Amino acid sequence: MFGFTYFTPTKVVFGRKTEEQVGELVCREGATKVLVHFGGQSAIRSGLLSRITASLDAAGIEHKELGGVVPNPHLSKVREGIELGKEMKADFILAVGGGSVIDSAKAIAYALAEPEYDVWELFAHKRTAKGCLPVGTVLTIAAAGSEMSNSCVITNTETGEKRSYNDDIARPRFAIMNPELTTTLPDWQTESGCADIMMHTMERYFVNGGTMELTDSLAEALLRTVMHNAEILHHDPSNYDARAEVMWASSLAHNGLTGCGNDGGDFATHMLEHELGGMFDVTHGAGLAAIWGTWARYVMVDCLPRFVRYATNVMGVEAKASDEETAMAGIEAMEAFYRRIGMPTSLRELGVEPTEAQILKMAESCANACGGVKGSAKPLRCEDMAEIYRRAR
Ligand code: NZQ
Ligand code: ZN
């Protein structure tokens, strides 16, 4: 087991109608001028945005709204937010939406704290942030875990790069989580969200470094819980309890809890997916599901004990004649689960058919973003990454 720092400063306010507390929560942060950031039409259509602004009005808080954040959020929208934030002298950014809106809000918050710098420098890893305006969130989709994470992922459409920047100073001050808000989600987004939640824990589980029994057991319980409730939601999308289980899992899967004591995790599948997102604008969770099985087969023998444990404790596979067979049965069971909830298990099923030139470009870009090598289950280099894209077709 490795030593670790576990830092989760986010106040979680969970349950029905909790969004009505937003004005009071922002007030307690000492904020007076709030930039309210949201996505496309969903928050307007459901009436959520009106309820949020009414709560801010009742608390006497000045606010301006900026919508239009798209999935795989764009740097250009971040720049728009920076201009508005400067103009209104915002002292707090409130994200109403999912990972894309929250990440766009975090990027605006970084930029407003250090207006003399270009914010993309953070994502290009040319410098580290010295400050970040406070961010609060009203979560509308259980998926990315950005509501409690230190991570922020932005796409630069000019270069086709989707890049992340991680820093504890961007962890949101509060996260309002009302599972009812997620009942308006299209099934595809609910299911992609479940795939992403599971991956955040699986990235921390398939390691060759240190491990810790308590962390492993928490991770396994989380994975079983998400699988069970994803299947319920596939048939009964309005089931509140299933929505609640999945929503709480989204935060715990990516706030660091399921990585305590390990070596920092693998995260190669995420890095491979980010390139697919940058080039083909795919839904993040679905992109992960499409590539995971190929990644798993590619690295399995280098991380065999973890794959055997996963097969047994998470997928409920009975021991086979050899560890390899048990591990492979676990991978197949996972892919069968993806199919049952409508997730792709190949790039073709994802709707993407990259050419050899595109594969090489993604692999090079991925290797560059990782500093040449990525992964704990099996460290991957550029040629491994290209081979995984090829086999995932
Ligand atoms: O824009 P609207 O109209 O709101 O529609 C959104 C969007 O089309 C819709 N939606 C959200 N809540 C809804 C709803 N539709 C109906 N009812 C609701 N209640 O869902 C679509 C997807 O939203 P998005 O925010 O993109 O989803 P998600 O939370 O999956 O975020 C994905 C982004 O987060 C990044 C991903 O790479 C991707 O860019 N990630 C961020 C992480 C982090 N910051 O910690 C970690 C993750 O690994 C991930 O990389
Ligand atoms: Zn993810």
- Per residue in 352-369, pLDDT (tens digit) is 999 999 999 999 999 999
Domains annotated on the chain, with CATH? 11-181 (3.40.50.1970), 185-391 (1.20.1090.10)
Tell me how far the alpha carbon of residue 100 lies from the centroid of ligand 1, in angstroms. 5
The one-letter amino acid code at 367 reads A
Q: Are 268 and 161 in contact (CB under 8 A)?
A: no
pLDDT in tens, 51-80: 999 999 999 999 999 999 999 999 999 999
- Closest among 250, 245, 70, 97 to 181, alpha carbons compared: 97
* Residue of 66, 74, 141, 272 to test ligand 1 pocket, by largest number of atoms within 8 Å of CB: 141
CB atoms within 10 A of CB 295: 26
Q: Which residues line ligand 1 (CB under 6 A)?
A: 39-43, 71-73, 97-101, 103, 140-141, 143-146, 149, 151-153, 181-182, 184-185, 189, 193, 196, 254, 270, 277, 284-285
Residues, Cβ < 5 Å to ion ligand 2: 196
Confidence of residue 1 (pLDDT cuts 50, 70, 90): very high
B/e letters for 53-83, b = 16+ CB within 10 Å, e = fewer, are bebbeebebebebbbbbebbbbbebbbbbbe
Quick check: pTM over 0.85? yes
Q: Let me know if 148 is exposed, middle or buried by CB neighbors in 10 A (0-12, 13-18, 19+).
A: buried
pLDDT in tens, 3-38: 999 999 999 999 999 999 999 999 999 999 999 999
Residue 127 has pLDDT above 90, yes or no: yes
* Residue of 180, 189, 200, 275 to test ligand 1 pocket, by largest number of atoms within 8 Å of CB: 189
Residue 210 has pLDDT above 90, yes or no: no
Tell me how far the alpha carbon of residue 352 lies from the centroid of ligand 2, in angstroms. 19
User: Which residues partner with 252 through β-bridges?
Assistant: none
pLDDT at 235: 96
Q: At what angle do helices 268-280 and 356-369 cross, to 10 degrees?
A: 130
Q: Let me know if 326 is exposed, middle or buried by CB neighbors in 10 A (0-12, 13-18, 19+).
A: buried
pLDDT at 233: 98
Q: Are 144 and 61 in contact (CB under 8 A)?
A: no
Tell me how far the alpha carbon of residue 272 lies from the centroid of ligand 2, in angstroms. 11
pLDDT in tens, 295-345: 999 999 999 999 999 999 999 999 999 999 999 999 999 999 999 999 999
Q: Could you tell me how far CA 102 lies from the centroid of its own chain?
A: 10
Residue with tokens 């508005």: 84
Residue nearest to atom 15 of ligand 1 (CA): 185
pLDDT in tens, 139-171: 999 999 999 999 999 999 999 999 999 999 999
Contacts of 25 (CB under 8 A, 6+ apart): 11, 13, 136, 174, 176
* Residue of 44, 78, 153, 191 to test ligand 1 pocket, by largest number of atoms within 8 Å of CB: 153
pLDDT at 311: 98
123 token code pair: 């994502």
Average pLDDT of 246-272?
Answer: 97
pLDDT at 209: 86
CB atoms within 10 A of CB 381: 15
